[in-house]
Structure 1
Amino acid sequence: MTKNTFLLFVACLLLSGCAFPSPYTQYDIGADYEVLQSSTNGTQILPKMDAFNASQLIPPVVTEVAWNDSYILAKQLELQPDPLNPDAQTPNQQNARYWIIDLKYNKRFGPYTKKQFEAQKKEFRISSSLQLQKVEKLAQK
C-alpha cells in the first residue's frame, strides 16, 4: 500500500463518521441547563453555554433534581476520599447540600442545609409540588 493510498484510506475512515459509545449521559432540564453524568460520582448540573454561565454550575455529585420554568432545585452530596482507594473519591451520604437556580435572573443560590433549603423555597414561593427526584429517574422520561 502506498503512502497516498494509506492516507486516503485513513481520511475515508475518519470521514465515515464511525460512532463510538459516549461515556457521558446527558439530560436537558429546562432550556438552558443539563444534567451531565460523566461517571458514577460525576453527575453535575451545568449551563449549556459554559463560558457565559459557568458560575451557575452545581458540582458533583448531584443525586436529585427538580425544575419548572422558574427554578432548578438540586441535592448534591459532597465528595470525600475513598478509604478503600486513595486515588478515588466517594459521595459523603452524611453531608447533603441543596441548591436553587433562579432561571429568571440566572442566579445560583446555595449551598444550603436541608433546613435552609426549605426556608429559601418558602421565601421564593416555590410550589410544594416541585419535588426533588433521583437523577436516575430522568432516563425514564
Structure 2
Amino acid sequence: MKRFIIICSLIFLTSCSTNFNPSHYSVGDEYELINVSGNALELFPKADALYASQYIPPEIAEIAWNDTYILAKQIEKIDDPNNPDASVTNETTENYWIIDLKNNRRFGPYTKKQFEEQKQEFRIPKQVQLQNVKTYFTKEKQPS
C-alpha cells in the first residue's frame, strides 16, 4: 500500500503544471532576448563571440525588427544608494538603440528625439514600431 501511495504521489507531483516563464525569445535569425533575472531582458547575439559588441544591456522594455534593423527601448538601471548589491529601475531614463543587421553595427544609446531622427535617416519603415517585449513572450506561450 505504501508503494502505491508513493507511486501515485510521484505521478501527481510530476504531472503538475508550472507557470511557464520562457527565458529567451528569438529575434530574427541572429539575436535573442534573454531573461537575465526577474523581468530584466537583454538583447544578445546568438553568435556572441563574433557580434558581442552588438549587445544591448537590460532592461529592454520594447523591441521591433525587420530583415534590416532591430529597434529597442531600454530602461536604464541605477544603483540603489541604500543597498549596493541591488538596483532600482529609473523609469525616467530611457535609452533607444538601433542595430543594423546588414552591417553588424549597433547605434545608440539615443534619446527619444535622436532615435526618431535616426529612424528617418536610416529610412526605417513606419510599420516597424516598438512593442512591449511581453507581447512576444505571450505569443510564444499560446498553443498552436
Fold match (TM-score > 0.5) = yes
Q: How many residues align structurally? A: 120
Deviation of 1:130 (Å): 0.7
Match of 1:80 among 78, 81, 89: 78
| 2:37 counterpart SS class | coil
Change (3 A) 1:119 1:77: same
Q: Classify the secondary structure of the residue corresponding to 1:38.
A: strand
**3-state DSSP of counterpart to 2:42:** strand
The equivalences for 1:86-101 within 5 A come to: 86-101=84-99
The RMSD of aligned alpha carbons is 1.8
1:61 aligns with 2:59: yes
Equivalents in 2 of 1:95, 1:41: separation in Å?
17
TM-score (norm: length of structure 1): 0.79
CA apart distance, 1:43: 1.0
Percent of aligned positions that are identical:
54
Match of 1:19 in 2: none
1:35 aligns with one of 30, 33, 36: 33
How far 1:134 moved relative to its partner? 0.8
Shift, 1:85, TM fit: 3.7
Flag the 1:89–1:24 CA change in 2: closer, same or farther, 3 A: farther
Give 4+ residue runs of structure 1 displaced > 4 Å after superposition: none
Mind listing any 5+ residue stretches in structure 1 that lack a counterpart? 1-21
Specify the alignment match of 1:131 in structure 2. 129
Q: Work out the CA distance in 2 between the residues paired with 1:116 and 1:96.
A: 12
Q: For residue 93 of structure 2, what is the amino acid of its counterpart?
A: N
Q: 2:45 maps to which residue?
A: 47
Distance in 1, Cα, partners of 2:94 & 2:133: 15
> What TM-score, normalized by structure 2, do the two folds share?
0.78
User: Tell me, what secondary structure is at the counterpart of 2:53?
Assistant: helix
